[in-house]
Structure 1
């Protein structure tokens, strides 16, 4: 079977792909069932949903990798992961790539911010020198064992140094060996189009809500020259709103009876989990007649 990285590459070559954020393993399983080609583990979703922390680089490499491994085991879809700034300098990036690859991940993206990092669509960001980022990319490329493991270089330069600087950085990152470029926080369809025209190779767009970028459709992005689009917190935000409304109803009414019809049923959950298959296995283990030697 092709490696996760090879499957991710094959998916975006065939057609532009939407990559939804999977903030837990069950979300990844549901995305697979619904026909998505890949899933994404966002640092923002992991920080908020798993640890209750802001996305400013507070989680460690091992915390990221542990959760990535859980999701990778739960689905056959290739998993793309946010690797923040690489968890250190170029030498640290070597171990970062090794651990993510060992966890069964298809690829990661590294960003050119300094620590403490910020959400890509907020102010207050600062960037490392281009040479420092290209060193990280070269380290990442050298560290991977599978040549198809995907190394994506994200640049936050648009909001810090300007659009042309983002172009220059992206070109340098491609020259350093990045497989794909991730321009963060572009501000108009025209900027997305110009960026794609001026930077060679595969590109991925971030369609996060409430940010600087317009919410373009996958077809629109494909027409502009992008191979993939991330929807990092879309499902997470919808889920958190549903949780809030459910808790408000429970607090106010003292019962969940009025909203049961809005819930995933027990049968639906068990079917998604493959519960029956596990029961059948359990019975088989205890009823199978041992083979005499």
Structure 2
């Protein structure tokens, strides 16, 4: 079964799916081993981890596709990739979508920001016209062919144009062929409720960022409102950043990691990168030492 088809089969189940945000192969493998059935790549996280820069559109299409392709290859569960604006006009979107399908991506997010885009919870965002984004979504639908690739239509219109316009765009993007609608950065719990009420016939995507513009609701609260997917895109990155900072502070102060015990050890880490599997392969293809007679 193709990744997109597997994702669609999962989403046919009732209830809300919680997706962790991943930003590299090890975080993707940890999410899978933790029992998640679907993961989500965070453009913010990939930009921070890959470039050490904010989500200001610094990543090129090539860099983003390389990153998400490696993550999709590293796991056996569906991966939904944040592919920003699709990196251009409808023709560029078609190429981006085609590459994503070849890389084994199960779903993508396409947003309606002007390029260069910004993180959805930054100020100063600008959006293209709804008509332009509708054509980009139609192009993505055509480019995915029979792969089953799920398309999440995202609008960032809430901040520059208001909630009513964002809701209208969400419906337009769904009618253009998007499978799921993502209205980014509603600014209150009441706005989350309004979105769910006005788009109650459409699968909805909620974005939960610690410290972001949208208040954090529990999965149970979002499910009760009618949302289908809740992503926690930066939780893992924030926790990893905290842990690395604390470890390095200890190392700088004490010149050793002795006494710092908030970490997995060597053997535990081996499980995350599947060392037993590769040791078995190593044994399988090992060459026996030559005998003295063979050497002569």
**Same fold by TM-score greater than 0.5:** yes
CA distance in 2, matches of 1:152, 1:10: 16
CA displacement at 1:13 relative to structure 2: 2.6
How far apart, in 1, do the equivalents of 2:22 and 2:147 lie? 25
1:211 aligns with 212
Q: Distance in 1 between matches of 2:221 and 2:5?
A: 25
* Equivalent residue number for residue 85 of structure 1: 85
Q: Deviations over 1:90-122 (max 9, x none)?
A: 111000100111111001101111012111112
**Which SS does the other structure have where 1:95 is aligned?**
helix
CA RMSD of aligned residues (A): 1.3
In the alignment, structure 2 segments of 5+ residues that lack a partner are 289-296
How many Å separate the matches in 1 of 2:172 and 2:232?
Answer: 26
Do residues 254 (structure 1) and 282 (structure 2) align? no
Query: 1:13 touches 1:227 (CA, 8 Å); kept in 2?
Result: no
Q: Deviations over 1:20-53 (max 9, x none)?
A: 1111111111111111111111111111111112
The 8 Å contact of residues 98 and 144 in structure 2, kept in 1 or not, is answered as yes
**Structure 1 residue 166: deviation in Å?**
0.7
Gaps of 5+ in 1: 289-293
Distance 2:152 2:29 in 1: 24
Distance of 2:138 and 2:183 partners within structure 1: 19
Aligned length: 286
The Cα shift of 1:287 comes to: 5.7
Match of 1:181 in 2: 181
Query: Displacement, 1:271?
Result: 1.8
Once residues 23 and 167 of structure 2 are traced to their aligned partners in structure 1, the CA distance between those partners, rounded to angstroms, is 31
Structure 1 equivalent of residue 139 of structure 2: 139
**Which of structure 1's runs of 4+ aligned residues deviate more than 4 A?**
none
Distance of 2:60 and 2:107 partners within structure 1: 18
Judge conservation of contact 2:20–2:39 (CA < 8 Å) in 1. Answer: yes
TM-score by length of 2: 0.93
1:112 equivalent in structure 2: 112
Determine the C-alpha separation between the residues in 2 that align with 1:61 and 1:158: 25
1:47-69 CA distances to partner (integer Å, 9 max, x unpaired)?
A: 11111121111111111111111
Q: Which residue of 1 aligns with 2:282?
A: 282
Partner Cα distance (2:115, 2:67) in 1:
22
Q: In 1, Cα distance between the equivalents of 2:86 and 2:229?
A: 22
**Deviation digits for residues 213-238 of structure 1, max 9, x if unmatched?**
11111111111111111111110011
CA distance in 1, matches of 2:148, 2:202: 15
**Is 1:11–1:17's contact at 8 Å kept on the other side of the alignment?**
no
Q: 2 CA distance for matches of 1:255 and 1:286?
A: 38
What is the rounded CA distance, in whole Å, between the counterparts of 1:11 and 1:192 in structure 2? 24
TM-score, structure 1 normalization: 0.94
Contact 1:153 1:182 in 2 (8 A): yes
Q: Are residues 1:234 and 2:238 paired? A: no
